[in-house]
Amino acid sequence: MANSSDYLRNYGGVSFTELPFNAVDSFALCQSFYLPVEKVYKNLNKDDVTLRELYMKSFELRGSRHKAVGVILSRQISIRAVELARSARFGSAKVTDFSEVFATQPAIQFCAMTLALDDGTTAIVFRGTDDSIIGWKEDVDLLVKKSMPSHQLALDYLEKAAANSTGDIVLCGHSKGGNLALWAALQSKDATRARIKGLYNLEGPGFYNYHLYHTPAYKELLDRYYHIIPHGAFIGVMLAHDDDYEVVKSSFPSGPFQHDLTSWMVEEDHPVYMPGLNLVGRFNDLLMKKVMDLIPVEHYGSIEKVADAIVKGAGQLYLTGFTKNLRSSIKGAVDAWNSTDAEMKNEIMGSFKGLGAAVPGALKEAITGEQPAAETPAEAPAEA
């Protein structure tokens, strides 16, 4: 069955005036934006950069060959970027703004781009977790913090884009990028939020708690909010997430692999939607909720400190470096864990002590459809 590559082949010559930005456009744009374009952008004329120029020069810098972008980021990213660049639909879109922030203390892996589409729409895309270990450390921060630096960066970026444009805005992001897009929209000024005609959260993980899903801003956005997860979702059911999602069919059978946007199926100009999660997706959803319940909030600080120590101990910034120096990287990470304060280690180990019982419990509930009455994640806890 078709995916976003087939969509670009069939609709790549259609303007946004004829066919407005849609969910499948977000699939293609979010996937392509994992291409490392930062070095190229710095050397281009910022007043007249098109997506075609940015992507093709980045492709050329990589030897004009479709290569994997990282250990877990496939060559399909490069393929999709070139397909977008060569299409009339996206290729002539102006890159009106670009931002990249990378830091170790605190962990920040942030990248966003703004496009001016031919129908006057401003499209903003936020990158998800890339090949950096810092990006993965930032994912841990999603669990243990109500907000993190990238959230504020995303909000600032959205407000800047809104101030420098007129008309409609569309936001999109895959994985952590979807989380950033939603957070920025919910925290944005009323005038900015009113201009958002579409927000595409593609299997982004949830938040620290359910508070934001019960705000007036969330309710205001609902009719323009497209939260899309695959039928065996894994990442998209992590943390405190909303249930206002649509389920897309994936060509891959298991949860983590379905996170790859290449596997998301489309028909003509729209996704192939499923009636709900399959057994694997329901199990993942229930298990993730149980894991959240296992970890006491007072242990979050220990988790963050230990994760930070392990990242430092590994001595690598990127997963490619980690795998190339596997023995020394693992030794450094293990040494960091072993040297961790005993009380912290006990807190972390104790937090997951009930995991053994959570797995069969989640499986039983996924199969039978029964859930304990005590589990009511739809209720919003008070903001801490």
- Length of the chain equals 384
Q: What are phi and psi of 89, to 5 degrees?
A: -60, -45
> Which H helix or E strand runs over 267?
strand 266-267
Q: Tell me how far apart the alpha carbons of residues 125 and 334 are, in angstroms, rounded to a whole number.
A: 36
How many other C-beta atoms are found inside a 10 Å radius of the C-beta of residue 275? 7
Look up the pTM and report it. 0.92
- The low-confidence residues of the chain, meaning pLDDT below 70, are 255, 370-384
Domain ranges of the chain: 4-277, 296-351
Q: What is the pLDDT of residue 311?
A: 82
The three-state secondary structure class of 198 is strand
Map tokens 């496009």 to a residue.
115
Alpha carbon distance 335, 331 (integer Å)? 6
**Does the CA dihedral 216-222-228-234 come out positive or negative?**
positive
Closest CA to 187 of 151, 145, 238, 142: 151
**DSSP H or E run through 169:** strand 169-174
Specify the pLDDT at position 371: 54
With a CB cutoff of 8 Å and minimum separation 6, the contacts of 262 are 3, 4, 5, 31, 74, 76, 80
CA-nearest of 192, 230, 186 to 27 is: 230
Map tokens 């220990």 to a residue.
302
Buried b (16+ CB within 10 A) or exposed e, 81-99: bbbbbebebbbebebbbbb
CA distance 297 to 6: 46
Q: Which amino acid is at 319?
A: L
Q: What is the pLDDT of residue 370?
A: 65
Say how many C-beta atoms besides its own lie within 10 A of residue 216's C-beta. Answer: 9
Structure tokens at 80: 């999709």
The span from the CA of 292 to the CA of 358, in Å, is 11
124 DSSP β-pair partners = 114, 171
Q: Which long-range contacts (CB under 8 A, 24 or more apart) does 270-275 make?
A: 270/22, 270/23, 270/24, 271/23, 271/24, 271/27, 271/228, 271/246, 272/1, 272/248, 273/246, 273/247, 273/248, 273/249, 274/231, 274/247, 274/248, 274/249, 275/247
- Please state which architecture CATH assigns to domain 4-277: 3-Layer(aba) Sandwich (3.40)
Tokens at 218, concatenated: 């969330």
